[in-house]
Structure 1
Amino acid sequence: MTLQHMHDIDSHKDAYVSCRKHGRTAKSDDGKIVGGYNATIQQFPYQVYLIVQKGNDYYACGGSILSSRFILTAAHCLTGVSRVYIRTGSTNSGSGGNVYSTTLYTQHPQYNARTSDYDVAVVKLLQAMTLDGSNARAIKLPPSNTNIPAGTQIVVSGWGTTQENGQTSSTLMAVRVPTVATSECEKAYNSAITSRMFCAGVPEGGRDSCQGDSGGPAVSKDSGLQLGIVSFGRGCAQAGYPGVYTNVSSVRTFIKLQTGI
């Protein structure tokens, strides 16, 4: 698949954005983080842009580079998908960098679409991606069962929308938010936040991941390790409703089995 072919897919997709409580997958052109700042791929070279094909529809998600042959993303991004297109090494979701295509992916066998538990998946490429170290490089992951204290600063990047059901942009964005206590998050959602999840956000809202950011990386500001994967939330950036992320350290066995990493 050429760069022009992927650009054509971007240009002809519907402008409709699907916002679901469980999942932040966008059926849209491009988009960006809520309440964030403009970023470049050199700042987040592990970030990739995914277009997933479901029948005749195309949806946008994020992902992160684990190695030249593996991408980490959310399981909910890949349900019913026939093909995945991956753009690496570009600040712009619609042009530049390198584009790859694959039909190979594995969702966590215990993924629960209703609760979003075990919301993790690995995409495999038969053709090795070009990792130049500056525009495209692998992210490092934490060890199994790493503790994530409340108040840990994470940086989330992606091309998701700027507000719930809002405007879109092709430019990479990022936002920094602190993690919040699991008990606080459970009260907000009135449901269980499992050990495969953690929450992050500010009480007043206004800063969050949103539609189109699903599957993208949430990285520790201090360690540079990918602690989370964008999973779901009540709308986007709503006061009192932090975003929910898959806890990477709790699914390390699955990732190791799939990738050797």
Structure 2
Amino acid sequence: MPGTEAGDVGTRIVGGTRASISDYPWAVYLTNTAGSQFCGGALVAPNKVVSAAHCTINRSASAVRVVAGREDKNGTAGVVASVTSIWNHPDYRSYLIGEDVSVLTLDRDLPYETLPLATPADTALYEAGTTSKVLGWGATSSGGAASRYLLEVDVPVTSDATCAGAYSQYNSTAMVCAGFPEGGYDACQGDSGGPLVVDGKLIGIVSWGNGCAWAGYPGVYARVSTYAADIQAQLG
């Protein structure tokens, strides 16, 4: 999750708690060939992962691995899959504009439960005040170190007006925001591409924000319902 400024808030995703991979078997993370984690993702079909275009736009498929079934990055549980192809949304130019969506095709089917996509019919999932959950292995403070373990945090979906008031770049078609007005709980660097979930559906992809968990600056996510048809077309 790129920050538009450097800063630091909170001590622990930010404000999160450890999550069990058995509760979120579709939560995955992306690494380089040396095993260093740089983004998150969600398994949406046995061999397909949704992430953020800004995570993958300048990376070749052969340079990316997907780690699934592993909550402790220092552990050996789960599967490390190679990536055979990466689809970045063809209109993606910058996460500040939108279309921050990518789909990675894996070299095998993974034996884990997949996460359904929100569709344009799922307007209720995006209503302001709805409790959403974001998961990741990213920084636990703005500019801080990444988490060894999978973390989860609950944040309310914010209204379009609230998000537009925080960010002049906000585009309600391409994006959705979540966070508390007072801050303290948020996704952070390294969580990019990870899932924002409501009622067992992927509604958002961690995209960007001003710092992490700053008051008045909710996290910004790619709005999955807008891109559901584009993503579905990649799932075959």
Match of 1:151 in 2: 129
What TM-score comes out, normalization by structure 1 length? 0.81
Asked if residue 20 in structure 1 is aligned to residue 3 in structure 2, the reply is yes
Could you say what secondary structure the match of 1:42 adopts?
Answer: coil
- Describe the superposition over 1:215-236 as per-residue Cα deviations: whole angstroms up to 9, x where unpaired: 000000xx21111110100010
Match of 1:138 in 2: 114
Match of 2:104 in 1: 123
Asked if residue 77 in structure 1 is aligned to residue 58 in structure 2, the reply is no
Identical columns (%): 39
Asked if residue 244 in structure 1 is aligned to residue 225 in structure 2, the reply is no
Could you say what secondary structure the match of 1:256 adopts?
Answer: helix
User: 188-197 vs 79-88, which deviates more?
Assistant: 188-197
- Describe the superposition over 1:95-115 as per-residue Cα deviations: whole angstroms up to 9, x where unpaired: 221101124100001112162
Judged with a 3 Å threshold, the aligned counterparts in structure 2 of structure 1 residues 256 and 169 are, in CA distance, closer, same or farther, namely closer
Judged with a 3 Å threshold, the aligned counterparts in structure 2 of structure 1 residues 21 and 71 are, in CA distance, closer, same or farther, namely same
How far does residue 165 in structure 1 lie from its aligned partner after superposition? 1.0
**Unaligned ranges ≥5, structure 1:** 1-17, 23-31
- Please point out which of 13, 18, 21 is paired with 1:41: 21
Asked if residue 259 in structure 1 is aligned to residue 235 in structure 2, the reply is yes
Match of 1:6 in 2: none
How far does residue 57 in structure 1 lie from its aligned partner after superposition? 11
Judged with a 3 Å threshold, the aligned counterparts in structure 2 of structure 1 residues 114 and 255 are, in CA distance, closer, same or farther, namely closer
Q: Is the 8 A contact 1:52 1:78 kept in 2?
A: no
- Describe the superposition over 1:19-63 as per-residue Cα deviations: whole angstroms up to 9, x where unpaired: 5339xxxxxxxxx7100111110111110011146xx99651000
Q: Letter of the 1:78 partner, please give it.
A: T
Asked if residue 160 in structure 1 is aligned to residue 134 in structure 2, the reply is no
Alpha-carbon distance in structure 2 between the residues aligned to 1:114 and 1:41:
28
Q: Is the 8 A contact 2:29 2:37 kept in 1?
A: no
Q: Is the 8 A contact 1:152 1:178 kept in 2?
A: yes
Match of 1:25 in 2: none
Match of 1:233 in 2: 209
Number of residue equivalences: 225
- Please point out which of 76, 90, 103 is paired with 2:70: 90
**Unaligned ranges ≥5, structure 2:** 6-11
What TM-score comes out, normalization by structure 2 length? 0.89
Root-mean-square deviation (Å): 2.0
How far does residue 188 in structure 1 lie from its aligned partner after superposition? 0.8
Equivalent runs, 1:165-204 vs 2, <5 Å: 165-204=143-182
Moved over 4 A (4+): 56-59
Q: Letter of the 1:209 partner, please give it.
A: A
Q: Letter of the 2:82 partner, please give it.
A: S
Asked if residue 211 in structure 1 is aligned to residue 189 in structure 2, the reply is yes
Match of 1:50 in 2: 30
Could you say what secondary structure the match of 1:63 adopts?
Answer: strand
How far does residue 187 in structure 1 lie from its aligned partner after superposition? 1.1
